[in-house]
Amino acid sequence: METNAHLALELKTMQAVSRVWGVDFVKLPEYDRLDFGLVRKGGIAAFAEIKCRSFEIGRYKTSLLHLHKMMYARQVAFETGLPTFLIVRWIDCIGYVNFNVDFETTIGGRRDRGIERDFGLMAEIPIEKFTIVEKINEPF
């Protein structure tokens, strides 16, 4: 479940991305399972999932994402013919990859919060696959 603080950080991230990409954005309802629709010239141009991390981009060699999220985003791209992007905000930059990126499937995640959904089948995306959108001087 998204908190108000998390949503505010997602919106701040999308504002930066929308400036660079020249798109508007619409927050999608939770049941849509992706965070934003990207709009250009009045129509949906793409979809995005946002992840906000509390560490620098170089801390790990890969970025973890639940495999079911990867599969869903790819299915949306297939069914709509529109690109889907994973946009990650680290404390030092914002980067993105298209969900059609190559990844490795693993079992992992985190268990420190006691939230069952934090652990399971994961897609590990190599950090070098990300394109940097913007450097961040003041992370939060």
Q: Please give the span between the terminal C-alpha atoms of the chain, in angstroms, as a whole number.
A: 20
pLDDT of residue 16: 96
* Per-residue model confidence as pLDDT tens digits over 105-130: 999 865 555 555 666 899 999 999 99
Residue 117 lies in a domain: no
Domain that holds residue 29: 4-58+70-100+130-135
Is 140 inside any structural domain?
no
Instruction: Count how many domains the chain has.
Output: 1
The answer to whether position 125 is within a domain reads: no
- 46 domain residue, yes or no: yes
Q: What is the 3-state secondary structure (H, E, C) of the chain?
A: CCCHHHHHHHHHHHHHHHHHHCCEEEECCHHHCCCEEEEECCEEEEEEEEEECCCCHHHCCEEEEEHHHHHHHHHHHHHHCCCEEEEEECCCEEEEEECCCCCEEEEEECCCCCCHHHEEEEEEEEHHHCEEEEECCCCC
Q: Is residue 118 part of a domain?
A: no
Whether residue 84 is predicted with pLDDT greater than 80 in this model: the reply is: yes
The whole-number pLDDT of residue 111 equals 55
Give a yes or no: residue 77 inside a domain: yes
**CATH assignment of the domain containing 48:** 3.40.1350.10
Beginning with the edge strand found earlier in the chain, give each strand of the sheet holding 119-126 in spatial order: 62-66, 119-126, 104-109
pLDDT tens for each residue of 10-69: 999 999 999 999 999 999 998 899 999 999 999 999 999 999 999 999 999 999 999 999
Q: The whole model's pTM is what?
A: 0.91
Which pLDDT score, from 0 to 100, does residue 3 have? 82
Residue 76 falls inside a structural domain: yes
User: What is the pLDDT confidence band of residue 134, given thresholds at 50, 70 and 90?
Assistant: very high
Residue 15, domain member (yes or no):
yes
